[in-house]
Amino acid sequence: MSTKPKLYYFNGRGKMESIRWLLAAAGVEFEEEFLETRDQYEKLLQGGSLLFQQVPMVEIDGMRMVQTRAILSYIAAKYNLYGKDLKERALIDMYVGGTDDLMGFILMFPFLSTEDKEKQRVLIVQKATSRYFPVYEKVLKDHGQDFLVGNNFSWADVHLLEAILMVEEKKSDVLSGFPQLQAFKARISSIPTIKKFLEPGSQRKPVPDDKYVETVRRVLRMYYDVKAN
């Protein structure tokens, strides 16, 4: 195995994007193998690399890891982005879980029909502004610190910035009523490793397009339409 983590996924965001974000935030270089054909996917299946017959899959430290949350937890712990004690880890898990719930509304977006996309766009913004962003706005205001947990940069901060930028792609002024989150976004975006990842030419993936959707459908044999909530 390569000494660098190696990521197996599609050439697009999906569930792998948060893994890319966290590795980049930690300043870790990684390699990628993009799945473009069903044969590639079948080879991974037949080789036993995909424990639960699904991607993302990451080769790291002699392991072939699947399950996105397990991969992210391992990376966060390995690179000191997971708090200093159990209490901080619990808070990070709680905030990451909330952000994951919001991201879930966004991840399915590219696979929706044109009609359902507009409904989902409205839902994403509504959920973000009424349910999720107010929580983080209050956390930051109440403790008056630069980061969500323990006044140290953590996985929770990386995950929240990723989510903020994703929602802003649906409504550019979505943070207009959240001054704490506006400052948080600027602060986290200026961290050198994050700033580098946000620059053109990085391994950050663009907004999913039709080519990405078609590739995912073909490789995974998704011959059905995803429905909006």
Per CATH, the number for 6-79+198-220 is 3.40.30.10
Q: Which of 49, 52, 88, 89 is nearest to 72 (CA)?
A: 89
What pLDDT, on a 0 to 100 scale, did the predictor assign at position 13? 97
Cα(30)–Cα(71) distance, integer angstroms: 14
Residues of the chain with CATH 1.20.1050.10: 86-190
What pLDDT, on a 0 to 100 scale, did the predictor assign at position 222? 81
Whole-number CA gyration radius for the chain? 18
Please give the Cα distance from 82 to 109 (Å, whole number).
Answer: 29
ω into 56 cis (within 30 of 0): yes
For each of the chain's 229 residues, which pLDDT tens digit applies? 458 999 999 999 999 999 999 999 999 999 999 999 999 999 999 999 899 989 999 999 999 999 999 999 999 999 999 999 999 999 999 999 999 999 999 999 999 999 999 999 999 999 999 999 999 999 999 999 999 999 999 999 999 999 999 999 999 999 999 999 999 999 999 999 999 999 999 999 999 999 999 999 999 988 655 554 4
Query: Measured between alpha carbons, how far is 87 from 53 in angstroms, rounded to an integer?
Result: 34
Residues 6+ apart with CB under 8 A from 202: 24, 196
> Tell me, which fold does domain 86-190 have in CATH?
Glutathione S-transferase Yfyf (Class Pi); Chain A, domain 2 (1.20.1050)
Whole-angstrom distance, CA of residue 220 vs CA of residue 82: 33
User: Boundaries of CATH 3.40.30.10 in the chain?
Assistant: 6-79+198-220
